[in-house]
């Protein structure tokens, strides 16, 4: 199965999820595109997500590890799935950080070529764990990414992970807006956040005036809601939630700037 996006042929991938947080289920729901997944428009739904389709057939396995574990685990490999499926990419979302250190042990069993570890909470993958995992995966010649938050994931020249972004159109969001004077008349999703919030925000900003759009975007982002941590992150010097908010705000503002150029609209100062 192949899907054509903007003249890019994106080959089918085998995805394997290991999740320890409800956020992982949200990412899967976005990829599967469940009929009840988005409620942005309520009764006025215009079925904008139909064009996204469903990637349920690409998900070869889901293992949920939500049991309460001790703060320190001496033999983390004991808690990992015993019979993981063959896959191209392992997505580890919100599992105990000590279990992350044992992920390289799954490489031989799964034949995975890449591992993505989203960080929506700094406790999911502390810097020392990330560094250790990066070094271990380098020895296996396995691609890896640690986006903080997941919606910051961009192409970086890594073949498998870049292919993941191309096929599923998720990562750092990209949208197009269509203006009528100073009002957003329509929107189009080019790339969504992995949790699917971009589809929600895009509907919420329709018919909004662009002069106070940052406030409208912020309200929609919180209303989805974004579940990234509100705890201060020393690496970001801010909260992960705030970074996610800045990303979608800048995405919309950039889309408006491009729409003005594309449509030849000159905005008045307000």
Sign of CA dihedral 232, 235, 151, 190: positive
- Please tell me whether residues 53 and 155 are part of one structural domain: yes
Residues 70 and 136 grouped into a single domain: yes
Q: Per the structure block, which two tokens stand in for 41?
A: 């428009």
Asked if 82 and 152 sit in the same domain, the reply is yes
CATH number, domain of 95, equals 3.40.50
The pTM of this model reads 0.92
Residue 247 and residue 157 share a domain: no
The residue out of 135, 168, 201 marking a domain boundary is 168
CB 32 within 8 A of CB 55: yes
Does one domain contain both 156 and 83? yes
Using the 3D structure, point to which of 168, 190, 208 is the last residue of a domain.
168
- List the chain residues with pLDDT less than 70: 1-9, 268-270
Distance CA 254, CA 25 (A): 30
Q: Residue 232: how many CB atoms within 10 A of its CB?
A: 12
- Final residue in a domain of this structure, among 140, 168, 196: 168
The pLDDT score that the predictor gives to residue 230 is: 97
Residues 162 and 182 in one domain: no
Residue 83 and residue 22 share a domain: yes
The verdict on residue 269 lying in a domain is: no
Q: Which residue range forms the structural domain that includes residue 144?
A: 2-168
What pLDDT shows up at residue 12? 92
Nearest to 265 by CA among 209, 181, 187: 181
CB atoms within 10 A of CB 93: 24
pLDDT at 270: 54
143 in the same domain as 40: yes
Based on the fold, state whether residues 158 and 231 are members of the same structural domain: no
Q: Is residue 72 part of a domain?
A: yes
What's residue 1's pLDDT? 32
Contact indicator for 146, 120 with CB cutoff of 8 Å: no
In a domain? residue 268: no
Shared-domain flag, residues 149 and 95: yes
Domain count for the chain, please give it: 2
Q: Would residue 270 count as lying in a domain? A: no
Cα 124 to chain centroid distance, Å, stands at 15
Task: Classify residue 241: in a domain, yes or no.
Answer: yes
CA gap 61, 14 in Å, rounded: 9
Here the tokens at position 134 are 């990066």
Residue 154 neighbours by CB under 8 Å, 6+ apart: 165, 171, 172
Task: State the sign of the Cα–Cα–Cα–Cα dihedral 194, 124, 115, 21.
Answer: negative
Q: Is residue 131 part of a domain?
A: yes
Task: Write the Ramachandran bin of 21: left for phi over 0, alpha for psi from -120 to 50, otherwise beta.
Answer: beta
Same domain, 212 and 135: no
Question: And the tokens for 53?
Answer: 């389709």
CA torsion sign for 152, 153, 155, 158 is: positive
Distance of CA 219 to the CA centre of its chain: 19
Residues 149 and 201 in one domain: no
């Amino acid at each position: 199965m192949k899907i054509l996006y903007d003249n890019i042929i994106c080959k089918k991938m085998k995805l394997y999820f290991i999740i320890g947080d409800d956020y992982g289920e949200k990412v899967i729901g976005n990829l599967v595109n469940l009929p009840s997944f988005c409620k942005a428009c309520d009764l006025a739904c215009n079925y904008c997500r139909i064009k996204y389709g469903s990637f349920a057939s690409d998900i070869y396995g889901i293992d949920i590890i939500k049991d309460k574990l001790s703060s320190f685990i001496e033999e983390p490999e004991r808690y990992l799935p015993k019979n993981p499926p063959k896959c191209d990419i392992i997505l580890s979302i919100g599992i105990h950080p000590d279990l992350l250190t044992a992920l390289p042990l799954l490489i031989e069993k799964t034949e995975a070529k890449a591992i993505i570890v989203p960080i929506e909470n700094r406790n999911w993958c502390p810097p020392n764990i990330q560094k250790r995992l990066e070094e271990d995966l380098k020895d296996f010649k396995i691609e890896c990414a640690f986006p903080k938050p997941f919606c910051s994931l961009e192409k970086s020249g890594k073949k498998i992970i870049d292919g993941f972004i191309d096929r599923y159109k998720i990562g750092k969001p990209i949208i197009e807006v269509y203006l009528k004077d100073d009002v957003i008349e329509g929107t189009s999703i080019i790339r969504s956040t992995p949790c699917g919030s971009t589809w929600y925000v895009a509907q919420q900003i329709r018919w909004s005036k662009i002069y106070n759009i940052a406030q409208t975007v912020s309200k929609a982002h919180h209303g989805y809601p974004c579940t990234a941590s509100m705890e201060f992150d020393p690496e970001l010097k801010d909260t992960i939630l705030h970074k996610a908010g800045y990303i979608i705000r800048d995405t919309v503002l950039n889309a408006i700037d491009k729409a003005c150029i594309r449509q030849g609209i000159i905005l008045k100062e307000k």
